Structure 1
Amino acid sequence: MKRSSQSAFSLYELLVALAVISIGTSLAIPSLAALQQKSEREALRNHLHASLHHARLQAVLHKTSVELCGSRDGVTCGRDWSQGWRMQLMHTPDQAMQIQQHRSKTPLRWAGFDSRIRFHANGTSPSSNGRFFQCKGNAMAWQLILNRQGRVRLANHLENLEEAHRCPG
């Protein structure tokens, strides 16, 4: 008489494997959420940096003034940059050159002399210098600094520490 050999896991072995998998998952999920938030902040920063460069380039190429302004709906300009921004030629503000909408958990903020950013035909932005920033708790996650010549740069770690008072926490 032949015996068929069958192999299987016992209930005890399955429960141990399930416990190990659940512990590993519970340790990995918070790290994944933090990684996702960091990725969203970096994507927002990169989109904004590209939009600022594009606005300056369009001003120089078209030999006219280009304006960037905060826009909640993509149609009208306002002071709030938290939902997105709008790029338009100064002499035809009803025609948008670019509309960027975003949904970030942490709002984008602008600190400058004017709520709008204007690039002149020579690429300068003398009345619109300031900084964009996004907070991470009560610390500065990143800053993009716009100078009077219209150039944009990423702030270093020390500058982020110095400007942490802008983040209420």
Structure 2
Amino acid sequence: MKQRTQLAFSLYELLVALALFSISISIALPSFSALRERNEREALRNHLHASVNHARLQAILRKTSVELCGSLDGTTCSRDWTQGWRMQLMRTPEQVLQIQQHRSSSRLYWSGFDTRIRFHANGTSPTSNGRFFQCKGKEIAWQLVLNRQGRLRLASTAENLAEAHRCRG
């Protein structure tokens, strides 16, 4: 008759494996946090880019002026774009085309001639040119630059470095 032997890990082997696992998790955790923050910033940038382009498209398609403004509560316009924004027709502001709300760990800034972005029926934005940006410490993480023709572009690394003073104040 054969005797069955049990195969298992000893307590010492389990403790060593647990210690190695704990060390690897403590090394990887900050990297995951930085990755999450970077993905959150990129998602906000892409969402904002799509919303600005959508507002311009609505102005062209509806042949009327469309306004995009920051909104803390989704019902009124404000200077603060951090909590979200709303898109509305300029002649009838009660007719809201879109409300976007988001929760971000870092602020979203708009720097332009006006606190609102206005697109005319031909897609131009002559008085609303400016830039959106988000800070990462004392540096600019990204910038979206809106020109007078109503086109939005991502700023280069050199432009971000040149405008870094905006995050130090």
Q: TM-score, normalising length from structure 2?
A: 0.98
Q: Distance in 2 between matches of 1:81 and 1:98?
A: 14
Aligned pairs (5 A) from 1:131-150: 131-150=131-150
User: Which is worse superposed, 53-62 or 1-10?
Assistant: 1-10
Residue in structure 2 matched with residue 123 of structure 1 by the alignment: 123
Residue in structure 2 matched with residue 98 of structure 1 by the alignment: 98
1:82-103 Cα distance to aligned partner (Å, 9 max, x none): 1100000111101210001011
Residue in structure 2 matched with residue 162 of structure 1 by the alignment: 162
Residue in structure 2 matched with residue 84 of structure 1 by the alignment: 84
Amino acid at match of 1:7: L
Q: Give the match's secondary structure for 2:95.
A: strand
Give 5+ residue unaligned stretches, structure 2. none
Amino acid at match of 2:75: V
Identity of aligned residues (%): 73
Residue in structure 2 matched with residue 26 of structure 1 by the alignment: 26
1:80-128 Cα distance to aligned partner (Å, 9 max, x none): 1111000001111012100010110101000000000000001000000
Q: Distance in 1 between matches of 2:76 and 2:148?
A: 25
Amino acid at match of 1:161: L
Structure 1 residue ranges, 4+ long, deviating more than 6 angstroms after superposition: none
Residue in structure 1 matched with residue 55 of structure 2 by the alignment: 55
Aligned pairs (5 A) from 1:3-42: 3-42=3-42
Q: TM-score, normalising length from structure 1?
A: 0.98
User: By how many angstroms is 1:2 displaced?
Assistant: 4.0
Q: Distance in 2 between matches of 1:148 and 1:132?
A: 14
Q: Distance in 2 between matches of 1:146 and 1:2?
A: 81
User: By how many angstroms is 1:3 displaced?
Assistant: 2.4
Q: Distance in 2 between matches of 1:151 and 1:69?
A: 17
User: By how many angstroms is 1:19 displaced?
Assistant: 0.4
Q: Distance in 2 between matches of 1:8 and 1:64?
A: 75
Q: Distance in 2 between matches of 1:43 and 1:92?
A: 30
Alignment RMSD, CA only?
1.0
User: By how many angstroms is 1:165 displaced?
Assistant: 0.3
1:121-161 Cα distance to aligned partner (Å, 9 max, x none): 01000000000000000000000000000000000000000
Q: Distance in 2 between matches of 1:75 and 1:105?
A: 22
